Amino acid sequence: MDTVKIKFTDFAETSFQAERHWVWHTLKKRYRVELSDSPDFLFYSTWGLDFLNYDCVRIFCGGEPVSPNFNECDYAFGFEPIAYNDRFMQYPVGDSDSPGLYDIGESIQDRSKVKPQMFDRKFCNFVYSQDWMGDAAGYRRDFCKALMQYKHVDCPGLILNNMPAGSIAERRIGGPTGPVSPDWSNGKLEFLKNYKFTIAFENTALAGVTTEKLVQPFQSYSIPIYWGNPDVTKLFNPKAFINCNDYNGDFDAMIARVKEIDEDREKYLEMLAQPPLRPDFDFHRAEKAEEFLFRIIERGNRPFSKDTIHISSSFRLREDLRVTREKLDHANEMLEQYGCAYDSNSWKLLRKMQRFADSKWGYLPKKLFLFLLGAYRKVKGAVSKS
């Protein structure tokens, strides 16, 4: 069994665990995998620029709705339905911590568990932990508020929270910046089972980006109220969910459709019993992604030529960063010459003075100092004129 040296970088530092990533598990099927700072294959994501420091084969793993830049990477996994020789593989997964489409099996099409009493469950839920990342993160919050004008929506997450702690499994271990809990996905699925509907809005509307937000309600027999991927019905059965993309941002029309289904037992159960995916859905995406990864490894550490004439935006970005670093280094040298380096006693004293001035105890002394400084400047100006 051959040894493969790899490294992961520019993933979310607080939550990323290499041993949980699907790339790690896949490679372990055929190779001895070694994490190395001198890798043959670098896997990187969207949360930094450290990948620019490596000259080996770079593989972009887009766990967010970000398009790959082939002036920077040799291969890419991403959401969008694009083709680039044998260097790109679409995998519409949620992310490395969520079930997403990557885990979908044909059993999801079996809706024999639908029972009439499912119509009598609680109305709807909204499970989100942030409303700032993505051009639609605030949009889904606003939709939830609008839907609450019709009926109460349970919100156990950080956004619009109206439920006690413990109502749903904790997403992260040790607080909001900790690693994702291994119990999170199953806990969320159990929570969703209690509701007729689940608000399932993506962070953004990008072709091909369909995450666990749509899949998990189907897995829990809760009808998704979905917004996001404009091409979602190329994969999913439009009769199985409420597709808010059809209403051009009209909340009233979206809510009218929800109300129509919510108040009609026959229509609700008919939609709930629909198979979530189209009959021609490809259930072998996982195997194809794995084979693509194996082909990358078998080709060896042979990077492609990228941006050979140095005119891409990424090259200019690197140059800007290099120039900025040089300017900062020069500024630090000048500060050291004058005894004002960041770690010097003079600098530490200035920082202490600033913290005191910004505190409640420093308010009056700071005001007095600024008054005296202003008076001094006026006197100095009057003297100079005379």
Domain with CATH 3.40.50.11660 in the chain: 105-272
Summary mean pLDDT of the chain: 87
Per-residue pLDDT band at 134 (split at 50, 70, 90)? confident
CATH 3.40.50.11650 domain extents, the chain: 3-97+285-306
Q: Which fold has domain 105-272?
A: Rossmann fold (3.40.50)
274-283 mean pLDDT: 93
283 neighbors 37 (Cβ within 8 angstroms): no
Q: Is 105 helix (H, G, I), strand (E, B) or coil?
A: coil
Give the DSSP per-residue string, 242-300. EEGGGGTT-HHHHHHHHHHHHT-HHHHHHHHTS-SB-TT--TTHHHHHHHHHHHHHHH-
Mean pLDDT of 45-69: 90
* pLDDT at residue number 231: 94
Instruction: Give the count of alpha carbons within 13 A of 291, CB side only.
Output: 6
Pairing of strands 32-35, 3-9: parallel
pLDDT band of residue 93 (cuts 50, 70, 90) is: very low
Options 3.30.56.10, 3.40.50.11650, 3.40.50.150, 3.20.20.10; CATH for 3-97+285-306 is 3.40.50.11650
Long-range contacts of 60-69, Cβ-Cβ distance < 8 Å, separation of 24 or more: 61/11, 61/23, 61/96, 63/11, 63/93, 63/95, 63/96, 64/95, 64/203, 65/134, 65/202, 65/203, 65/204, 65/206, 65/209, 69/312, 69/314
- The arithmetic mean of pLDDT across residues 140-153, rounded, is 98
Give residue-wise pLDDT tens across range 152-197: 999 999 999 999 999 999 887 777 667 777 788 889 999 999 999 9
Q: Which helix (H) or strand (E) holds 93?
A: none
Look at residue 182 in the predicted model and tell me its pLDDT. Answer: 76
- What's the gap between Cα 52 and its chain centre? 21
The whole-number average pLDDT for the span 285-292 is 87
Report the side by side order of strands in the sheet with 242-243. 122-125, 195-201, 223-227, 242-243
The pLDDT, as a whole number, for residue 99 is: 38
